[in-house]
Structure 1
Amino acid sequence: MSAERQFTSWRRDGLVAAVAGTPAAGRARADLTATIALAGSARRSPIPVELAGPGDVAGVPSDQIARCDPFDGCPDFEPEYFPYVELVNPALPWLFSPAGPSTAPLPNPEAVPVPPGPQRRLRPWLALVTVPVEAATVTAGGNGRPPVLSCPGAELPDPEESWAWAHVDGGGTGTAVSRLLSPRRLVAGRAYQSFLVPAFAAGLDPAGLPHPGAGPLDPAWRRDGTAQLPVYFTFRFATGAAGTFEELARRLRPRAAPEATTGRVVATDAPGWGVVGPAGSTVVVPGALRPVKTAAADPLPPGLAARLAAAISATGPGPQLRPPLYGQDYAGGATAVDAAGAGWLPELNTDPRHRLAAGLGAWAVAVNQDSLSDRAWTQLAAAGIQPAASTDPELGDAMRPVLAARADAGPVAVLAPALARLARAAGPRAAAVPGMPAPPAPAAPARRFAPTFDEPAFTLLRAVAPEWLLPGAGDIPDESVVALSTDQSFAEAFLVGLNHALARELQWRRYPLDTTGTMFHRFWAAAPGAADPTVGEIAGWHDTALGSHGPAPDNLVLLVRGALLRRFPTASIYLSGFRPADGAEVRMAPVVAGRLAAGTSFFGFPITPETALNPAGADGITGWKVVIEEGVDHPRFGLDPAPADGGTAPVDGWRDLDWGHPQVAAAAYVPVAGPLAGLTRPLTTRPGPALAVRLTWGADSAELAMILTRPAFRVRIPVALWLS
């Protein structure tokens, strides 16, 4: 009944498809007459067949549960929507129903000349009910019987309308499933539990429960007193605060980036290593993200770069203690740097702003050195490379008494992983340590190898120094959108420092490292479907400038902070433009994306802020808009929130129906009978294909499913508004 989904009211396969009418009084099984014929004979013989009914079922196999919405344990389900459960077998809800389809007349509430057709229904043998946690008691069945739910009957829906809340979803391009809705009106901030239970009284028999009515085909519960029902499947959830995706999206406001997000002030008057700057001198060091209108960086204090270069390049007799020359292995093993030289190596090493970013990369290695080293050794083994054993006698002599003492205290297996690896590399003299296997004999030098790590490096920065992703992020108020840019120079400096420090750590651990190999290639995470934002091999940067090696330097980034992403973490954000040449919409997906904290995420696009704001459309595209779209990969059912003013909007189209309508405002469950029954309306009054779809309330469960399906919400906001 739509381009995306095809709902049908029921499905019956096999013999059960022939069931019509109702069984005789007092019976809970359908009777059929089958015909058999012997091979080679024209004779036909009728055979009575009795089909299994709801009283023959003690449970539903767990592998038949395709999905429950919300998921079990969900802490903040939207109170405007209905819980539901999907079943793998699209015919399962009607498989044990002992009666056939039936019809009933529908009222004509508006006295239209052509009244609505008959109501079409088939009672399923299953139903989904939802009860507040405090009102539900579940006891174990025992002796192979299912658990039993006890709750007030007033907490359950009208059992005579169970036919309305079961349907088959053809799945569009997917696989068909059956679905049972629980059309309960939920309250914000409350805990609930949903239960898959029998709909017929006969379904109580396997649990040994009494029937609430006279016959086995009566409903399984009454809406007074205490109801007791076998439980085939259950899930718990809590509702969040009131507010739909649309409401939360509209709370967001574009805001200017706080001053603190420009960067952090760092003193440069005494950076160490014998380097002295002008008294009181400082520089502002930006983070990995920065405001779009950040002014050009101030020049360094006079002579500071030259003094840093001199300290880095210091020579003299014996070993020299001096600042690290970040990335020297990628520049042919350089041991000195010229502050006036060209290219990324002097730029990174003689500017304290870039050195700080590289130092953060080194700090990330210090914090994660054991896990990173373990992964590097695992990759080496997977590549089939055997590290060469050391023949250093001094290391072996130094290790022997230490390891022997540890071996006397207990098994060598208790050694820390790093020490055990060092022992393995200590050479032949370590073979005498009790309990330690003999190391391999001295061999030819091992083949050099560079491990690779796929995770985006910004996650390491977020773990060890999150304040440097966006300095001053805490000053951004809730419900904000802030326009930022990536700082590619910071990202590349961090990557160089990260690779440099990890290379030193692995070499110290006697790893046969290819020191020219790049182990971390990306700082940012690629958004789904986007090109991988790698920086390539650092050894291939040569004399190019720092910050010029990403696929799209200094992307436009939108940082979103608010309840929207806390409640809807799968929401998608993209840019949409208009191409006048052919009148087509052009979508631009983010190329980088990530999360700073709960409810705070960023989305980077391969476009500069200037291009996004250009009304002339130099690239042939104009009118760029930010689109925020509800990321739902499965249908949602429910009603819109009641108007804030307490009024009731006229139902000109079914999309106008909300929780403030008198038919549903005071009901615990949405009723089928009542003033809406027989009312026929278009799905929406907005122009488009849906305008032609006219649906009748209560006609059948398929039309009700269409009426109550909530479309994924999408909001479009001009980029100029967000960047102004």
Structure 2
Amino acid sequence: MGGGIARGLRLRLPPTRFFPQQTDDDLAFRSALQKQNLLFEASALVSPVVVAQSVNIPTIYGQVLQKIDPVVTMKNRAAATIKLADYYLGQWAKFVRPVMAYPELTDPMYAPLRDISGEYMVPNLKMIQNNVISLLNVNGKFIESYMTGLNHEFARELLWREYPTDQRGSYFRQFWDVREVMGANPTKAKIEQFKNIPELHRWALNRDLGDHNNRPTVKDNVVLVVRGELLKRYPNTVIYAQRADWPVENGQIDTTKVRNLADEDGSMAGQANIQHPLFKAQILPDIYFIGFNLTVKEVKGDPGNSLAENPGWFFILRERPGEPRFGFDIGDAPQNPLYTWNELNWKNLGTADGGQLTINRNFTLGNTNPLTGDAGLDNKARHDEDVKYSWSTTTNAADIAYITYQDKVMIAIHGSEMLNF
């Protein structure tokens, strides 16, 4: 065939020419393309130029690690599956990771504060006069803020000294001195009961400062303050609170009489008539604080318009039973005649107070009772017993011991006498 065109082939045209036909779909497609092209052109005119931003790999790395941290993911997973009240949803995370073991110090932490200055405990301390008994109220907000700061700083100290700690420990939880109240060898449960604040990581987030009391049954504590020589000279004085009782005459309260002491073994509204101290504190040399589970309103009582009203509480200071003392009254004028041996004093003996005593005279008891009423009846019974013993140059040691025996002293002060509002 060579390089030329084969002579045996011939191209023929169709008898009729072919012209493509436009359908409705073709027209619609063409219109859509035109509109899209117009849209692209308009977008190019108004769209800003996109500038590529650099990627901060370290930031993304940190964010990813934070999102996949099991502390976060497990908490979210548990929160999605465990149904709790709204309050607990904000509280439960503190139980996910237990607090590391930490030292617990049981010393009453009011003492270091007092040693810096007594004014830090009681502002205007000098206003408490000598030989005075009064009432104060506990400032729970101050105690909790002080204890929180104390624990925070101690945690920082442990961290500084490379002690293994997560700084969430509650190292100090005791503000007041409760050692005497708890007694010897207290149980672990009793020790926990007398702590002033709960563990810090268990504090409720919806409570204000001052409301995190570790003892739910304890109210706002009223504190008895005693300043003077009394407790220095008699450190074993027994101090407690005893409920008062209305003096009743013909079924009505006799407001002209002093309120009585309620029965020691009784109770009212589920509360015993005797309340012993919850804690104690001392500012040297002569100021003593004794706290009770009573409020100021309870202690003061009501005016006495009806028997249903609260009669208030007495604070009792009495010599401890079982510690006998012998001697005579000091500073009294001589009693003549004597009705009971309890009236015998140093002036009767003609000897200086506390001086050397020589039995060189005789004393006899008279028959004139200086007291009346119930006190007179008690004094008469005492007289009938005392006449069996004599004071003379022939008196034996047993009679002298009976005559010089000092009756136990008890003082009862009603709360309303110390509250002027």
Length-normalised TM-score, structure 2: 0.57
Superposition deviation, residue 707 in structure 1? 1.5
2:299 and 2:313 in contact (8 A); partners too: yes
Equivalent-residue separation in structure 2 for 1:651 and 1:567 (angstroms)? 29
- Choose which of 323, 326, 343 in structure 2 pairs with 1:637: 326
2:409 is matched with 713
Superposition deviation, residue 658 in structure 1? 0.4
- Choose which of 280, 287, 292 in structure 2 pairs with 1:600: 287
Report SS of the residue matched to 2:119. Answer: helix
The Cα offsets for residues 194-250 of structure 1, whole Å up to 9 and x where unpaired, read as xxxxxxxxxxxxxxxxxxxxxxxxxxxxxxxxxxxxxxxxxxxxxxxxxxxxxxxxx
Superposition deviation, residue 685 in structure 1? 6.5
Instruction: Trace 1:425-464 onto structure 2 (pairs within 5 A).
Output: 448-464=100-116
1:557 is matched with 223
1:510 to 1:527, Cα distance in 2 relative to 1, 3 A: closer
Quick check: 1:515 aligned with 2:167?
yes
1:723 is matched with 419
- Choose which of 378, 381, 396 in structure 2 pairs with 1:687: 378
- Choose which of 303, 313, 316 in structure 2 pairs with 1:627: 316
- Choose which of 227, 236, 246 in structure 2 pairs with 1:570: 236
Higher alpha-carbon Rg: 2
Bigger share in strand: 1
Equivalent-residue separation in structure 2 for 1:663 and 1:474 (angstroms)? 41
Superposition deviation, residue 697 in structure 1? 2.4
- Choose which of 548, 560, 563 in structure 1 pairs with 2:211: 548
1:680 and 1:696 in contact (8 A); partners too: no
Gaps in structure 1 of 5+ consecutive residues: 1-331, 333-341, 343-446
Instruction: Trace 1:255-404 onto structure 2 (pairs within 5 A).
Output: none
2:12 is matched with none
1:571 and 1:629 in contact (8 A); partners too: yes
Superposition deviation, residue 597 in structure 1? 2.1
Letter in 1 for 2:325: R
2:330 and 2:353 in contact (8 A); partners too: no
2:298 and 2:310 in contact (8 A); partners too: no
Report SS of the residue matched to 2:244. Answer: strand
Instruction: Trace 1:199-218 onto structure 2 (pairs within 5 A).
Output: none
The Cα offsets for residues 324-369 of structure 1, whole Å up to 9 and x where unpaired, read as xxxxxxxx9xxxxxxxxx9xxxxxxxxxxxxxxxxxxxxxxxxxxx
The Cα offsets for residues 607-658 of structure 1, whole Å up to 9 and x where unpaired, read as 1111212226999862411222234752211101142xx4434310010000
Number of residues of Structure 1 aligned to a counterpart in Structure 2: 276
1:511 to 1:535, Cα distance in 2 relative to 1, 3 A: same
1:457 and 1:520 in contact (8 A); partners too: yes
Letter in 2 for 1:487: N
2:331 and 2:353 in contact (8 A); partners too: no
Equivalent-residue separation in structure 2 for 1:668 and 1:492 (angstroms)? 53
Letter in 2 for 1:476: I
Equivalent-residue separation in structure 2 for 1:570 and 1:583 (angstroms)? 24
The Cα offsets for residues 540-569 of structure 1, whole Å up to 9 and x where unpaired, read as 112132212333353111222223234333
Letter in 2 for 1:712: K
Letter in 1 for 2:378: P
Equivalent-residue separation in structure 2 for 1:602 and 1:483 (angstroms)? 9
1:638 to 1:538, Cα distance in 2 relative to 1, 3 A: same
Letter in 2 for 1:606: N
Report SS of the residue matched to 2:338. Answer: coil
Superposition deviation, residue 663 in structure 1? 5.8
CA RMSD of aligned residues (A): 3.6
Equivalent-residue separation in structure 2 for 1:496 and 1:668 (angstroms)? 56
Instruction: Trace 1:52-451 onto structure 2 (pairs within 5 A).
Output: 448-451=100-103
1:601 to 1:686, Cα distance in 2 relative to 1, 3 A: farther
Report SS of the residue matched to 2:378. Answer: coil
2:236 and 2:319 in contact (8 A); partners too: yes
Letter in 1 for 2:235: P
Equivalent-residue separation in structure 2 for 1:666 and 1:532 (angstroms)? 45
1:573 and 1:627 in contact (8 A); partners too: yes
Equivalent-residue separation in structure 2 for 1:567 and 1:624 (angstroms)? 26
The Cα offsets for residues 264-321 of structure 1, whole Å up to 9 and x where unpaired, read as xxxxxxxxxxxxxxxxxxxxxxxxxxxxxxxxxxxxxxxxxxxxxxxxxxxxxxxxxx
1:461 and 1:468 in contact (8 A); partners too: yes
1:516 to 1:475, Cα distance in 2 relative to 1, 3 A: same
Superposition deviation, residue 690 in structure 1? 4.9
2:140 and 2:210 in contact (8 A); partners too: yes
Deviates more, 1:498-507 or 1:530-539: 530-539
Superposition deviation, residue 500 in structure 1? 0.9
1:503 and 1:515 in contact (8 A); partners too: yes
Quick check: 1:696 aligned with 2:389?
yes
1:594 and 1:602 in contact (8 A); partners too: yes
Instruction: Trace 1:6-25 onto structure 2 (pairs within 5 A).
Output: none
Gaps in structure 2 of 5+ consecutive residues: 1-74, 76-86, 88-98, 183-192, 247-260, 265-272, 370-374
Length-normalised TM-score, structure 1: 0.34
Report percent identity of matched pairs. Answer: 25
Superposition deviation, residue 472 in structure 1? 1.1
1:532 to 1:618, Cα distance in 2 relative to 1, 3 A: farther
Equivalent-residue separation in structure 2 for 1:554 and 1:665 (angstroms)? 49
1:381 is matched with none
The Cα offsets for residues 470-491 of structure 1, whole Å up to 9 and x where unpaired, read as 1110233322233211101111
Equivalent-residue separation in structure 2 for 1:527 and 1:619 (angstroms)? 37
1:685 and 1:691 in contact (8 A); partners too: no
1:525 and 1:592 in contact (8 A); partners too: yes
2:318 and 2:409 in contact (8 A); partners too: yes
2:100 and 2:165 in contact (8 A); partners too: yes
